[in-house]
């Protein structure tokens, strides 16, 4: 009764509490708290600003090199979106991707990312770099709405790209949400020749039988496990086991978030194929990543 003076206010606040309960997962309840309305307002203001940002062309892509463990060469880059906010500066995706997904704005944003990444790949070619793959993160919404193949075909043709040079990264939790749909969607993309990776592996609840059915090329081991190398024996065991799992499924393993020489040495000793992380490079603007590739690959 203290959460509103009339029926309308009580219903509105109960609704906010329900919304929170839903985002916290299944089978739980939440009591209303005034801060929930602040969070809702914050979301609204970000949504409004995101819409404007799309129109004003304020999004940027940075690219993080993916390194071949054995040769040390750059074998690909991952496109990571940033928002060049007029007042707040360069914002990381953690600040806005969630709201973009909730509001459907991830659809136009995802398309922007896709085209910008493909254009960059074509620019790499024009600059004489023709053996580097472009990783693109695919959101749950893009995965579900089914127009990825159309988008991919369009960009491949428009920029005369080799389909295998595009790598779609789908998170484990999104892939396992509707696994039968995922099997079908990945089959279509695989038949087009697009490279496919399961992202953030180890953080979701994978069914191993589905894992086998997904037409994947790579597993990306989540950073949280790499972090534990040399610190926590359980984390280390998971890294080890995941490398084995990937190889037994005929997949290459990419370890994310490699920050130390010790982590690299351990992963290398266990046969990890590819690594990505601050030890080599943070995500960089296009001109800087181009210089990085030139320096390492020639």
Can you say how many angstroms the Cα of residue 143 is from the centroid of all Cα atoms in its chain?
12
Q: Which residues contact 176 (CB under 8 A, 6 or more apart)?
A: 182, 204, 205, 206, 207, 210
Based on the shown chain and the rule CB under 5 A, indicate whether residue 199 belongs to the binding site for Ca ion: yes
Give phi and psi for 171, each to the nearest 5: -70, 150
Determine the Cα–Cα distance for residues 144 and 49; give it in Å rounded to an integer.
25
Based on the shown chain and the rule CB under 6 A, indicate whether residue 172 belongs to the binding site for ligand C2E: no
Which of residues 107 and 224 has its CB atom nearest to Ca ion in the complex?
Answer: 224
Q: Which residues contact 99 (CB under 8 A, 6 or more apart)?
A: 43, 46, 47, 50, 105
Based on the shown chain and the rule CB under 6 A, indicate whether residue 204 belongs to the binding site for ligand C2E: no
Smallest separation, CB 7 to ligand C2E (Å): 40
65 binds, among ligand C2E, Ca ion, none (CB under 5 to 8 A by kind): none
Smallest separation, CB 108 to ligand C2E (Å): 12
DSSP H helices in the chain: 7-23, 34-56, 97-103, 106-126, 140-145, 148-158, 172-177, 179-192, 208-213, 223-226, 233-248, 261-269, 286-297
Which of residues 75 and 256 has its CB atom nearest to Ca ion in the complex?
Answer: 256
Q: Which stretch binds Ca ion (CB under 5 A): 89-97, 115-123, 251-259, 266-274?
A: 251-259
Based on the shown chain and the rule CB under 6 A, indicate whether residue 80 belongs to the binding site for ligand C2E: yes
Smallest separation, CB 81 to ligand C2E (Å): 4
Determine the Cα–Cα distance for residues 196 and 215; give it in Å rounded to an integer.
7
Q: Which stretch binds ligand C2E (CB under 6 A): 30-38, 150-158, 275-283, 284-292?
A: 275-283
Which residues of this chain interact with ligand C2E, rule CB under 6 A? Answer: 64, 80-81, 92-94, 97, 110, 113, 137, 139, 199-200, 223, 256-259, 276-278, 283
């Amino acid at each position: 009764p203290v959460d509103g003076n009339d029926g309308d206010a009580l219903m509105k606040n109960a609704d906010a509490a329900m919304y929170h309960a839903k985002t916290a997962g299944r089978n739980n309840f939440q009591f209303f708290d005034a801060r929930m309305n602040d969070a809702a307002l914050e979301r609204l203001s970000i949504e409004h600003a995101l819409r404007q940002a799309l129109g004003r062309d304020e999004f940027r892509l940075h690219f993080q090199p993916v390194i071949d463990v054995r040769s040390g060469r750059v074998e690909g880059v991952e496109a990571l979106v940033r928002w060049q906010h007029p007042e707040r500066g360069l914002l990381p995706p953690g600040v806005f991707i969630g709201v973009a997904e909730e509001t459907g704005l991830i659809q136009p944003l995802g398309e922007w990312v896709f085209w910008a990444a493909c254009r960059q790949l074509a620019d790499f070619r024009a600059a004489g770099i023709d053996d580097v793959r472009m990783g693109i993160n695919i959101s749950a919404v893009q995965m579900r709405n089914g127009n990825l193949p159309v988008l991919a075909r369009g960009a491949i043709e428009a920029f005369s790209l080799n389909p295998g040079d595009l790598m779609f990264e789908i998170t484990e939790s999104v892939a396992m949400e509707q696994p039968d749909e995922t099997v079908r969607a990945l089959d279509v993309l695989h038949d087009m020749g697009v490279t496919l990776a399961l992202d953030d592996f180890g953080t979701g609840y994978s069914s191993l039988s589905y894992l086998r059915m997904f037409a994947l090329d790579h597993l990306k081991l989540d950073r949280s496990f790499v972090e534990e190398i040399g610190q926590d024996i359980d984390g280390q065991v998971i890294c080890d086991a995941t490398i084995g799992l990937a190889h037994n499924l005929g997949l290459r393993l990419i370890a994310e978030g490699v920050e130390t020489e010790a982590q690299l040495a351990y992963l290398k000793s266990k046969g990890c194929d590819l690594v990505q992380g601050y030890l080599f490079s943070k995500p960089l603007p296009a001109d800087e990543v181009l210089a990085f590739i030139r320096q390492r690959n020639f």
